[in-house]
């Protein structure tokens, strides 16, 4: 079952029944999915020199909310990050905002998600700079995730951090006293909440005034658990990089009442289950996780940031490791569907021109 086919049928009714104007980011996401891997995007024509077969390969939309796209980028990102893993224990931290704030995140995603990522990272760096914890400069990866397995809205941040820091003088490494403990989650939660409120008040006072003051007294859930050498946790995070809230393989068609069947893994018993969802509800849940254009959901901080290449090199040297070797992307080849031999590019297909596809769908439906 293709999500684009579901959109093509049910998007006009979703627009007609929308309570308010649909954000431009949602229109762009729908248009990308509808045109993905179609002649609309243009592509290439390949020819097999052995069996004389031809094959059209149309371009992907590469939109991060498209259920078809992102697999190659995800694999490349995962390989590049695995090459940067350090020979030390790793921890996976997760923190989320209270339910009261989530509706504000939907209305102003850029402001709230940016604040959540930046201030969560600042709180962690400040705490680990204290001598009773690490007392140095750390480095970590932060990934914003906004969905649950059933595609409900649940914004939270995962942080993968190596248990090592560079001392203030930059000449030695600092390790935690115990591999079972990195940072007190209660103190971290309180600091994230305070920094979040301060940044929102200073940069977006009009949004701060819309929030119930009781939010700043609620507990912000934070977890921290050891993850071995980080490889398994990194691959877990890679599932949320350059990918949509769900994969098309989780769509199992329709039931007898016309509801879409969404497969999901229940965290309670680790069993795969199937939930029947009205197509318009599925579209609504999917759109909950469309991020603003240009928003960076994966960020690197400390000595793992792009601006700290020399600092990371020093950390690796002190750990007895050489420079990071970046994995190269494998060259693209088009195998022949008949003989499986590489095909030869013979022609370029230009992209089509015209009004956005989502508007065309509405016009055709009318």
Burial of 38 per CB tally in 10 Å (0-12, 13-18, 19+): middle
* The pLDDT value given to residue 234: 92
- Span 25-53, pLDDT tens digits: 999 999 999 999 999 999 999 999 888 88
Q: Where are the alpha helices (DSSP H) in the chain?
A: 3-16, 24-35, 71-82, 99-107, 109-128, 185-203, 205-208, 231-238, 279-287, 309-318, 357-365
Residues 6+ apart with CB under 8 A from 246: 67, 147, 151, 262, 286
Residue 294, both tokens: 């240009």
User: Which residues lie across from 162 on neighbouring strands?
Assistant: 90
What pTM value is reported for the model? 0.92
Residue 288, both tokens: 């909950």
Q: Which single residue is written with the structure tokens 């995603």?
A: 109
* The pLDDT value given to residue 225: 93
Instruction: Report the distance separating Cα 123 and Cα 150, nearest Å.
Output: 30
* The pLDDT value given to residue 79: 92
- Span 231-247, pLDDT tens digits: 999 998 988 887 788 88
Nearest CA-CA partner of 157 in 78, 247, 100, 224: 224
The distance of Cα 213 from the centroid of its chain, to the nearest Å, equals 30
Mean pLDDT for 183-212 is 96
């Amino acid at each position: 079952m293709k999500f684009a086919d579901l959109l093509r049928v049910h998007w006009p009714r979703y627009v007609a029944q929308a309570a308010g104007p649909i954000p431009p980011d949602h229109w762009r996401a729908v248009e990308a999915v509808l045109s993905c891997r179609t002649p609309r995007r243009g592509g290439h024509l390949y020819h097999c020199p052995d069996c004389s077969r031809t094959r059209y390969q149309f371009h992907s939309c590469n939109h991060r909310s498209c259920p078809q796209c992102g697999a190659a980028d995800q694999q490349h990102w995962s390989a590049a990050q695995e090459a940067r893993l350090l020979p030390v224990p790793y921890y996976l931290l997760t923190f989320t905002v209270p339910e009261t704030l989530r509706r504000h995140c939907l209305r102003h995603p850029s402001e709230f998600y940016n604040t959540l990522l930046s201030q969560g990272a600042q709180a962690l760096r400040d705490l680990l700079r204290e001598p009773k914890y690490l007392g140095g400069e750390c480095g970590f990866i932060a990934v914003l995730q906004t969905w649950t397995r059933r595609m409900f809205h649940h914004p939270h941040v995962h942080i993968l951090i190596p248990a090592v820091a560079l001392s203030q003088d930059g000449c030695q490494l600092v390790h935690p006293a115990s591999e079972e403990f990195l940072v007190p989650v209660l103190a971290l939660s309180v600091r994230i909440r305070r920094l979040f409120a301060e940044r929102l008040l200073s940069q977006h006072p009009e949004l701060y005034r819309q929030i119930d003051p009781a939010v700043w007294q609620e507990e912000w859930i934070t977890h921290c658990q050891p993850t071995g050498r980080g490889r398994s946790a990194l691959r877990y995070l890679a599932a949320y990089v350059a990918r949509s809230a769900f994969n098309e393989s989780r769509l199992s068609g329709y039931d007898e009442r016309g509801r879409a069947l969404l497969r999901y893994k229940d965290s309670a018993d680790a069993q795969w289950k199937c939930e029947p969802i009205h197509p318009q509800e599925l579209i609504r849940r999917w759109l909950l996780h469309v991020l603003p254009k240009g928003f960076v959901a994966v960020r690197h901080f400390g000595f793992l940031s792009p601006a700290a290449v020399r600092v990371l090199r020093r950390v690796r040297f002190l750990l007895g490791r050489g420079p990071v070797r970046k994995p190269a992307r494998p060259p693209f080849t088009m195998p022949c569907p008949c003989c499986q031999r590489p095909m030869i590019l013979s022609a370029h297909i230009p992209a089509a021109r015209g009004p956005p596809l989502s508007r065309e769908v509405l016009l055709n439906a009318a």
